[in-house]
Structure 1
């Protein structure tokens, strides 16, 4: 009975001349006794007739289907037999991709899973572009009417609702079901994506002092959002802390378990930004910074998100100078994702082909014969600058190559420096050392594919035993699954929101100083990375 939709056994007395209680009143009276809490018990108006007929057809004994809401129980169905499956859909409403799972709310089993591109991307790859599209006419009005709705905002809402419906159809088809079988939906996304989904004005999100229209929204229903799921399915939107701290991070905190931990942990989630949370069951502190683009395909010419054809693993033998790589899906390489980029740059450093500044060494000055031969094969000059050819050395066209250019390498060094500066600034705020952390959870595709040892080599992550690091996958989606299945997780969301302190890095002088110090491999202070060789 913890899930957001659950079934409850009811055995009511049969009506008689001596007991002429109305059918639905009879059902409610039984549920009051069974449920035994102070929440109201109502029967959804949309299904009063169907519930009454199902209750009577079952002989007044069977299983009531209930929406388990914070302040009430809502009866939405009745059956003579206990349902084997109650379907819920958990959704990670990402800026570039939507990822979802269908769950059996009876036992937590995954029925199907899938993902689609967020079709809002046609209006802008980044959040700011979409806010501008959603507020184009709003910006022309100094004081808009209370009922004014920007057509651009309506357009973005229609597009994302259509994408969610398409994903729901994909998942239910895989599970042999229909979209109307989905009895609940949870949505985890950043603050802007939540505004665009609900069609609520995001105008002030990108204007100082950056105040959202809402942080919390009441539980909605499928028909209110014109979703293809069951019309009275509850739709739970993860709460936000502010424009900078969305429901996706609340989900990550839930998924990592740090809000229930007595010992202090850290969560790192790298996407467009690097978002970091530090804390335990008593307190939480968080910040975000631009450490993600070089790792997510936003800077490097050959960079891409973790997907088919992305080089996710690279190694260079330190003595034989043999290069090996692996692509996601074991298909022909078309680019390199964050984990492959970290592997490659770490390998180039350990084999002394780049220096501590992240600059390519000149092959003509190399004394080691084997290294010189490898460098002459892979390091070529383009427009006067050295670049490293990962694949396609003997191809006739540049489009068949995967190449790391110096500009890409510079962006990588900035990103890794920003990451370490974020981590050190945050932990310094609470007077802790990295060695005092119980765990560092690394979320997303970045966490799933990254080799922590190589990130340590670059000075991106602190030099700690590898056992401290734990990859937790898509924490936004995992958190969305938790709130569907567990009433305590839904309550924990409020506790997390009230516990978080946000650290603004844009005006933090300490961060800028630490960023400058981290722009070397592994760092200007090599004692911070005792396991990394210094050349």
Structure 2
């Protein structure tokens, strides 16, 4: 039996066989919808509301939703089966804050793709040289290489372009190859686009390759999130689902093409004016972009298909820029330290620094780099999705209505993104909240939420009424029913604190391991560079208070924005910088945390919060 599913507010309809999960129907409808745990029923975040027809609650619904929510028609899309015609409201809120700001650095322009206006002598009975030989001679006279070759596509365009322009044409070259031929003189237009493909978001920077100016910036959520919030979920999907790799590959190609269209429209130019693109991303995003199977990245000993830089024709990947366009993919360092980290090093010039610097890109998979021009160490810390809001009871991404900052003053207060009523809490708010709870003594150094009676006579006494019993354990009330956007009170539970401890412990351990391997103390670090969106928005005092960053370095913390994006821009505008990226990737020493001799010792120490002594219970 076929059942019709209507999705609101998108007003999309699909027909599916009875028994089909809503997750599959959403995918069939071509709708973007997040499944943070990859649709395995573990996170309870993929909530929808059944507004027409009936859907029986699943076991996952009964685990993650209360009786009132189930009665109100809420279901988890990953577990709800369609058995009749239904209307479903997608409750997920878009409008995420996407970091597009980049760091600034001086770049000597030397783009990969160049244009040469050439005037060739027309053929005569006395001069019957083939068109390419004729043009090649002019190119050599203009300083071009004698080994210059021409692509088949350009060769096919050559006779028409030459004659349409009165034997004046423009040769588009990349390295030692003529990639395109255009009639007349088109040398005044030469654009490129630099992409940072993040696990959660994708940003594209449209550039004038002749001036280095950024003409437009376009961003979007990574549509691969509907297959899982983290790289492990996506690797699992790519390797275990039929056509999983192709779906993930197509999803990222499609969003890149959308960003090209959007950026070109904003800059009032044509996408055919774009001749080159550069790409950075973590190793998994790198593989999925190229259509490479990432399976072995997730399996010990964590080996990628390739770590080298890749130069690919845009047409081969389906990237919709000029047909002569070329894609320049930056190299990876290791299985879980990718081209985005190379981009951060390139942007911040850590590889040229005389002083010891520490760069941290905090996320589901945190990348950490330590060192100077003489030696750089890097590692990957599996922080998990807590910083993105997944596996936190009221966690959410940084979008409208997310509590993004918390303060424990005379009264408890918070702010939300865009000033809306709170819908949940994002990573920066979670760190603030736990740092504040630690400061006033609501939680002890082990992360245990203390009972209200233990707070009497302490700085936490005025907040004791917010410590309540919730689902059999203690929790801290962030927002009551009448404050919250959907009428559900928002809490930080004991389990949420544990999830944050695991996440911050992973990053802190990575830092500790690199310091130990380098043979230095935290105070020897001259500067801490926080890269990426999360690092840009979090409060450095809160980060140090919970032990995410060594407290001695609090005054040395500097957010560097989307440094990976800056690295992509740098590599696009300069062939020399692209070659330098390859040298960086080859020279960085990768440290595998799990096999480091002191890992368990350092991880154990990093799990606790940095208080001098345990608070009394």
Instruction: Place the TM-score, normalised by the shorter chain, in its bin.
Output: 0.7 to 0.9
| Secondary structure in structure 1 of the residue aligned to 2:552 | coil
Question: Match for residue 205 of structure 2?
Answer: 101
Q: Deviation string for 1:420-458 (max 9, x for gaps)? A: 222111111011222222322111112110121221122
State yes or no: 1:461 paired with 2:549: yes
State yes or no: 1:127 paired with 2:231: yes
Change (3 A) 1:25 1:282: farther
Matches within 5 A, 1:85-100: 85-100=189-204
TM-score, normalising length: structure 2: 0.74
Change (3 A) 1:283 1:465: closer
State yes or no: 1:261 paired with 2:353: yes
Change (3 A) 1:61 1:304: same
Change (3 A) 1:164 1:286: same
Question: Match for residue 426 of structure 2?
Answer: 337
Counterpart selection for 1:490 from 566, 572, 578: 578
Change (3 A) 1:261 1:61: farther
**Is the CA contact 1:23–1:56 (under 8 Å) kept in the aligned structure 2?**
no
CA distance in 2 between partners of 1:413 and 1:46 (Å): 56
Unmatched runs of 5 consecutive residues or more in structure 1:
138-149, 527-532
| Secondary structure in structure 1 of the residue aligned to 2:571 | helix
CA distance in 1 between partners of 2:250 and 2:551 (Å): 47
**Is the CA contact 1:357–1:521 (under 8 Å) kept in the aligned structure 2?**
yes
CA distance in 1 between partners of 2:194 and 2:350 (Å): 21
CA distance in 2 between partners of 1:133 and 1:300 (Å): 23
Matches within 5 A, 1:284-363: 284-317=376-409, 321-363=410-452
State yes or no: 1:437 paired with 2:525: yes
CA distance in 2 between partners of 1:442 and 1:369 (Å): 34
TM-score, normalising length: structure 1: 0.85
CA distance in 2 between partners of 1:524 and 1:422 (Å): 22
Question: Match for residue 114 of structure 1?
Answer: 218
Question: Match for residue 372 of structure 1?
Answer: 461
Change (3 A) 1:260 1:22: farther
Q: Deviation string for 1:298-330 (max 9, x for gaps)? A: 33122223233222222121xxx2233222233
Q: Deviation string for 1:325-359 (max 9, x for gaps)? A: 22223333222222211212222222233222222
**Is the CA contact 1:306–1:445 (under 8 Å) kept in the aligned structure 2?**
no
CA distance in 1 between partners of 2:405 and 2:579 (Å): 40
Q: Give the count of matched residue pairs.
A: 509
Counterpart selection for 2:250 from 158, 166, 182: 158
Counterpart selection for 1:172 from 253, 260, 264: 264
CA distance in 2 between partners of 1:226 and 1:478 (Å): 24
| Secondary structure in structure 2 of the residue aligned to 1:311 | strand
CA distance in 2 between partners of 1:465 and 1:125 (Å): 31
Unmatched runs of 5 consecutive residues or more in structure 2:
1-108
Question: Match for residue 182 of structure 1?
Answer: 274
Change (3 A) 1:213 1:465: closer
Counterpart selection for 1:46 from 143, 150, 153: 153
CA distance in 1 between partners of 2:295 and 2:458 (Å): 61
| Secondary structure in structure 2 of the residue aligned to 1:223 | helix
Change (3 A) 1:327 1:105: farther
**Is the CA contact 2:344–2:566 (under 8 Å) kept in the aligned structure 1?**
yes
Change (3 A) 1:238 1:368: same
Question: Match for residue 481 of structure 1?
Answer: 569
Question: Match for residue 70 of structure 2?
Answer: none
CA distance in 2 between partners of 1:425 and 1:453 (Å): 22
Question: 1:391 Cα shift?
Answer: 2.4
Question: 1:57 Cα shift?
Answer: 5.9
**Is the CA contact 2:351–2:373 (under 8 Å) kept in the aligned structure 1?**
yes
